[in-house]
């Protein structure tokens, strides 16, 4: 992925043919690596060293991927405004798997992020067919757990989609930029898909951009990778709403990002030969250089054709502002605001004395001044799904596979005791060969939840298991006891939060059939 991707319109469905992610399906993610290759999710490792005191879910690589999270990390480190938002679809009991997103939100909130948690009730009603009565009940349960885990409702914002008019207005605006063919390609929607389901998609896009309604800012959306199609779509819709696009350019013609890279390389090499004087390199010379120095490819041929057509025009690096969705008067104001040498064309203006970051900042400021949103492309982080206690997927509809946060603590104990493990057939074998913590749902319970922030404890369990010193019976009892305590504590905190919830401005009594 090049640096310029947010400045031109990508097809968010690109790559979706080979591997589809269905946010409403039950697809398990078999191979997390394919998410990197097929969809351009980046490995979390790459930003981890720059995250200030990372959460244990980050340290343990349970959060494994991201899009554009660096933006948020930089804002966090520089004490600049940033936001975090995620949503919960109230379709069943909140379970321990949902705790990941709550923890991620709360962590960002404690680091100063403007934090939002929403109840995706329109989605639950339209895509899952739940009644409003069921939705209200589950919504209350989700929110009590969120508060019990430490979300601060004074600092943060909680809303439900169905009663948030500002959100729905934004969804309507975003809907103008989206069309059915795109939904078909991304989500596999067909002529049979109901309109409200489609509406829930633009509503989710509006959720994702909601933190930026008052002011554009880096925003992270912590989710499971099944939600990535929504992230890609929203990043694209956000770009389409922008008044101007900003790209680098080297001559008067338009070039694609990969062509620009080649032209930049030709320019760098030739101007170095010419002693650094920028305007001595002509387009034809750059074409000849590419012909000589670069392996043939479609990109190379396209760049050469464009350069040859431009002939003797000098190659000069510049930033280009392209008019996109600019309100009246905004283009003129932008031209006016550009310092130094510039060249104005019909639908774009080139500036020669600023870098791309300065240009982006200027474009956003002019847009916002003219009543635009100036959206920063939303970032995301992705966590692995917990394996079900019975192996396979942790699913709300298979009670034995998950532990509900509302389960009787003793049932929680029993479910852990009955869980599948990565242990061997016999104790002897386990002592000889060691257990397989990487394939053990019980080890996952420790790593995701029970060991909390205590890395040393998690590592000890791992090492003892893999080294054959730990046997499953005792290990499960230890986990089962911890689970029982966790549930009992959590449920007590939930009760304490009832008053807090009642005081919040969230209506949990929908008067609809
Ligand atoms: N679609 C999400 C789910 O299935 C819920 C959701 C709605 C959401 N709006 C969101 C998640 C915005 C993240 C950001 O659980
Ligand atoms: Fe899993 Fe514990 Fe058995 Fe290891 S010892 S396989 S971690 S249950």
Question: What gap in Å lies between CA 79 and CA 293, rounded to an integer?
Answer: 45
Q: Is residue 22 part of a domain?
A: no
Atom of ligand 1 nearest to the CA of 203: 9
Q: How far is the CA of 414 from the centre of ligand 2 (A)?
A: 16
For range 389-403, the mean pLDDT: 85
Distance CA 250, CA 418 (A): 65
Indicate which atom in ligand 2 lies nearest the CA of residue 472.
Answer: 3
Task: State mean pLDDT over 329-340.
Answer: 97
Q: Tell whether 3 is covered by a domain.
A: no
pLDDT of residue 383: 95
Residue 434 maps to which CATH number?
1.10.240.10
Query: Does residue 12 lie within any of the structural domains?
Result: no
Which residue of 86, 87, 130 sits with most ligand 1 atoms within 8 Å of its CB, as the best mutation to test the pocket?
A: 87
Q: Output the pLDDT for position 17.
A: 40
pLDDT band at 324 (very low <50, low <70, confident <90, very high): very high
Q: What is the pLDDT of residue 2?
A: 35
Q: What is the pLDDT of residue 463?
A: 97
Q: Is 229 in the pocket of ligand 2 (CB under 6 A)?
A: no
Cα 392 to ligand 2 centre (Å): 17
Q: Is 367 in the pocket of ligand 1 (CB under 6 A)?
A: no
By the 8 A CB rule, do 479 and 413 touch?
Answer: no
Q: What is the mean pLDDT of the chain?
A: 92
Task: Tell me the sheet residues that pair with 244.
Answer: 323
Residue of 43, 39, 1, 44 whose CA lies nearest to 21: 39
Q: Is 480 in the pocket of ligand 2 (CB under 6 A)?
A: no
Q: Which of 269-278, 335-344, 502-511 has the lowest mean pLDDT?
A: 269-278
Any atom of ligand 2 within 6 Å of the Cβ of 472: yes
Residue 508 lies in a domain: no
Which band of pLDDT confidence, cut at 50, 70 and 90, is reported for residue 78? very high
Domain residues for 46?
Answer: 32-242+378-383
Q: Is 222 in the pocket of ligand 2 (CB under 6 A)?
A: no
Least confident of 95-99, 361-365, 368-372, 449-453: 95-99
**Has residue 76 got a pLDDT over 80?**
yes
Residue nearest to atom 4 of ligand 2 (CA): 465
Q: Which of 141-150, 158-167, 273-282, 332-341 has the lowest mean pLDDT?
A: 273-282
Closest approach atom of ligand 1 to CA 120: 7
Write out pLDDT tens, residues 1-28.
333 333 333 333 333 344 567 787 765 6
Asked if residue 1 is part of any domain, the answer here is no
Q: Do residues 166 and 87 both lie within one domain?
A: yes
Note whether 172 and 307 are same-domain residues: no
Going from the Cα of 467 to the center of ligand 2, the distance in angstroms, rounded, reads: 11
Q: 39-66 b/e with 16+ CB inside 10 Å = b?
A: bbbbebeebbeebeebbbbbebbbbbbb
Residues 213 and 254 in one domain: no
| Best mutation site among 94, 115, 164, 227 for ligand 1 pocket (most ligand atoms within 8 Å of CB) | 227
Check residue 26 and give its pLDDT.
Answer: 60
Find the helix packing angle between 472-496 and 132-148, rounded to 10°: 100
When pLDDT is averaged across residues 66-81 and rounded to a whole number, the result is 97
Which pTM was predicted?
A: 0.90
Residues 300 and 188 in one domain: no
The CATH code of the domain that includes 62 is 3.40.50.620
Domain termination site, one of 348, 383, 418: 383
How far apart are the CA of 29 and the centre of ligand 2, in A?
23
Is residue 207 in contact with ligand 1, taking CB distance under 6 Å? yes
Nearest ligand 1 atom to the CA of 89 is: 15
User: From CA 86, how far away is CA 120, in angstroms rounded?
Assistant: 10
Closest-CA residue, ligand 1 atom 11, reads: 87
Q: Do 293 and 232 share a structural domain? A: no
- Given a cut of 50, whether residue 434 has pLDDT beyond it is yes
Examine residue 333 and state whether it is found in any structural domain, yes or no: yes
Q: Is the CB of 123 under 6 A from ligand 1?
A: yes
Kindly state whether residues 345 and 473 are assigned to the same domain.
no
Residues 98-121: tens digit of each pLDDT:
999 999 999 999 999 999 999 999
Looking at the structure, tell me whether residues 218 and 323 fall in a common domain: no
- Mutate which of 416, 444, 471, 475 for ligand 2? The one with the most ligand atoms within 8 Å of its CB, which is 475
Both 52 and 185 in one domain: the answer is yes
Summarize pLDDT for 484-493 with one digit per residue, the tens. Answer: 999 999 999 9
Q: Are residues 95 and 193 in the same domain?
A: yes
Task: Looking at the CA of 435, name the nearest ligand.
Answer: 2
Q: Are 504 and 158 within 8 A, CB to CB?
A: yes
| Least distant ligand from the CA of 474 | 2
Return the residue whose CA atom lies nearest to atom 3 of ligand 2. 472
Ligand 1 contact, 202 CB (< 6 A)? no
Q: Is the dihedral of CA 367, 369, 371, 376 positive or negative?
A: positive
Q: Can you list the pairs that 267-276 forms with residues at least 24 positions away whose Cβ atoms lie under 8 Å?
A: 267/315, 267/317, 269/293, 270/315
Q: Which ligand is nearest to the CA of 440?
A: 2
Residue 164 binned pLDDT confidence (cut-offs 50, 70, 90): very high
262 and 233, same structural domain?
A: no
Does some domain include residue 401?
Answer: no
20-37: average pLDDT: 73
- In whole angstroms, give the CA distance from residue 467 to residue 435: 7
In angstroms, what is the span from residue 462 Cα to ligand 2's centroid? 8
Cβ 160 vs Cβ 206: under 8 Å: no
Task: Tell whether the model's pLDDT for residue 396 goes beyond 80.
Answer: no
Q: Report the percent of the chain where pLDDT is more than 70.
A: 94
Q: Is 92 in the pocket of ligand 1 (CB under 6 A)?
A: no
What pLDDT does 22 receive?
77
CA–centroid distance for 119 within its chain: 18
Determine the pLDDT at residue 15: 38
Kindly state whether residues 185 and 288 are assigned to the same domain: no
When pLDDT is cut at 50, 70 and 90, the band that residue 60 belongs to is: very high
pLDDT in tens, 270-318: 988 877 665 589 999 999 999 999 999 999 999 999 999 999 999 999 9
* 445 Cβ contact partners less than 8 Å away, ≥ 6 residues apart: 96, 416, 419, 479, 483
Structural domain count, the chain: 3
Dist. CA 513–CA 500, nearest whole Å:
27
Residue 315 resides in a domain: yes
Q: Please report which ligand is nearest the Cα atom of 436.
A: 2
Mean per-residue pLDDT, 216-237: 96
| Domain identity same for 362 and 462 | no
For residue 200, the CA-to-ligand 1 centroid distance in Å is 10
């Amino acid at each position: 992925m090049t640096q310029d991707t947010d400045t031109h319109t990508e097809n968010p469905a690109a790559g979706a043919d080979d591997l589809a992610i269905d946010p409403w399906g039950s697809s398990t993610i078999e191979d997390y690596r394919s998410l990197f290759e097929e969809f351009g999710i980046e490995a979390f490792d790459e930003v981890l060293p720059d995250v200030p005191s990372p959460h244990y879910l980050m340290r343990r690589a349970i959060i494994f991927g991201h899009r554009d999270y660096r933006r948020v990390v930089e804002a966090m480190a520089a004490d600049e405004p940033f936001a975090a938002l995620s949503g919960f679809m109230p379709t069943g009991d909140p379970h321990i798997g949902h705790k990941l997103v709550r923890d991620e939100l709360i962590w960002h909130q404690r680091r100063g992020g403007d934090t939002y948690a929403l109840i995706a009730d329109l989605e639950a009603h339209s895509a899952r067919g739940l009644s409003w009565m069921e939705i209200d009940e589950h919504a209350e349960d989700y929110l009590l757990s969120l508060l019990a885990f430490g979300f601060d409702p004074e600092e943060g914002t909680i809303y439900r989609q169905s009663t948030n008019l500002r959100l729905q207005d934004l969804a309507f605006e975003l809907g103008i930029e989206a069309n059915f063919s795109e939904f078909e390609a991304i989500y596999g929607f067909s002529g049979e898909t109901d309109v409200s389901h489609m509406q829930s998609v633009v509503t989710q896009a509006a959720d994702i951009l909601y933190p930026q309604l008052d002011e554009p800012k880096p925003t992270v959306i912590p989710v499971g990778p099944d939600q990535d199609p929504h992230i890609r779509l929203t990043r694209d819709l956000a770009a389409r709403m922008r008044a101007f696009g900003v790209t680098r350019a080297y001559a008067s013609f338009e070039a694609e990002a990969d062509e620009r890279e080649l032209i930049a390389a030709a320019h760098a090499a030739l101007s170095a030969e010419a002693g650094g004087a920028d305007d001595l390199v002509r387009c034809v010379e750059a074409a000849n250089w590419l012909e000589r120095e670069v392996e043939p490819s479609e990109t190379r041929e396209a760049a050469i054709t464009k350069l040859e057509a431009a002939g003797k025009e000098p190659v000069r690096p510049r930033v280009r502002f392209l008019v996109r969705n600019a309100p009246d008067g905004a283009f003129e104001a932008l031209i006016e605001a550009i310092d130094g040498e510039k060249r104005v064309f019909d639908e774009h203006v080139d500036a020669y004395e600023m870098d791309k970051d300065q240009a982006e900042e200027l474009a956003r400021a002019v847009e916002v001044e003219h009543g635009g949103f100036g959206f920063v492309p939303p970032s995301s982080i992705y966590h692995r799904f917990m394996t079900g206690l019975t192996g396979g997927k942790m699913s709300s509809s298979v009670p034995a596979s998950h532990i509900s946060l509302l389960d009787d603590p003793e049932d929680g104990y029993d479910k852990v005791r009955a869980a599948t493990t990565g242990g061997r057939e016999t104790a002897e074998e386990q002592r000889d060969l060691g257990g397989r913590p990487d394939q053990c749902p019980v080890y996952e319970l420790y790593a995701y939840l029970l060991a909390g922030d205590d890395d040393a404890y998690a590592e000890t369990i791992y090492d003892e298991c893999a080294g054959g010193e730990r046997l499953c019976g005792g290990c499960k009892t230890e986990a089962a006891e911890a689970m029982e305590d966790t549930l009992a504590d959590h449920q007590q905190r939930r009760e304490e939060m009832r008053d807090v919830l009642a005081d919040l401005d969230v209506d949990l009594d929908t008067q609809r059939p």
